[in-house]
Structure 1
Amino acid sequence: MEFILQYPDRHGTEGSLLEAGPVTELARVAESAGWSGMAFAEHPAPGVRWLASGGHQSLDPFVALSFAAAVTERLRLLTYLSVAPYRN
């Protein structure tokens, strides 16, 4: 059996989970612990209504996965969702 870690989403705009440091640290730990992969969700440009109703901020999955790729060797990297119209 293989396990994939989903990077935690964060409510609000505060907190270090929205910075690059925890991405690389968690990727290293996941790989050394034997996890098969790491995933990110995409919620581009969340609106005020979304955030006010309990929605969360999130990192750009492709940028975040690039940070994870830079510090790992075998960890599989994936998105759970990619919103194509935002990528033009």
Structure 2
Amino acid sequence: MNFIESIDQFLMQLVIVPIVVIGLGVLSAVTTKRIFVGPLVTLILNLLYEVWYAKYYYPDLEISFTSWNIYFPIISLVISGIFISARKTKPKESH
């Protein structure tokens, strides 16, 4: 049994994957200071995860994408917007 198989799928799909894909999307948006980078990175990472998951667990079936590919980028867009706007309105310290 490898590491991936030892993780509970409920925990993986409802906690770990959303935190990782949304977190990396927001992080990339904040580092590039472009709000639309976050949802794009989130979408790409989640699509890659879903393709891997389908091929790993159901190799004979056709790949189908879930509605999480809509929800996660929207959540990433909102969080990225909050972080970027908070960063822009932050007062600069003067010495």
Do these two structures clear the TM 0.5 threshold for a shared fold by scoring above it? no
Higher relative contact order (CA 8 A, sep 6+): 1
TM-score between the two structures when normalised by the length of structure 2 = 0.37
Which structure's residues are more often strand, by fraction? 1
Q: Please identify the structure whose Cα radius of gyration is greater.
A: 2
